[in-house]
């Protein structure tokens, strides 16, 4: 089995307070420190030779598919403090 660390949608529209969806989402991104924890995970993966993949997910222009509950769940998963990269 091969390991790949996927980084999804860390774009300003979603993570910055002035972004299109930032008013509700940026507070959660800040609360759980998504950007810092993602940077830590990316650095750890690179250090251990794990390929990093960046994914831009397509959404409607108004992001109507997103829900704050879904984002909160994703942010919690994304920012896990106990990162382990399995060697293939």
Q: Regarding predicted confidence, which is higher, 37 or 75?
A: 37
pLDDT at 50: 92
- What is the pTM for the complete model shown? 0.60
- How far apart are alpha carbons 6 and 9 in whole angstroms? 10
Residue among 71, 70, 78, 54 at smallest CA distance from 19: 71
pLDDT (tens digit, 9 = 90+) per residue, 6-36? Answer: 888 777 877 888 887 767 778 888 888 888 9
Distance CA 55, CA 24 (A): 22
pLDDT at 65: 65
Helix (H, G, I), strand (E, B) or coil at 13: helix
């Amino acid at each position: 089995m091969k390991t790949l660390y996927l980084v999804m949608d860390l774009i300003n529209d979603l993570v910055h307070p002035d972004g299109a969806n930032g008013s509700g989402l940026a507070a959660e991104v800040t609360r759980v420190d998504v950007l810092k924890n993602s940077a830590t995970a990316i650095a750890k993966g690179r250090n251990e030779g794990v390929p990093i993949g960046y994914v831009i997910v397509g959404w409607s222009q108004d992001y109507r598919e997103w829900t704050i509950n879904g984002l909160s769940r994703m942010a919690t998963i994304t920012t896990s403090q106990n990162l382990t990269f399995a060697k293939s």
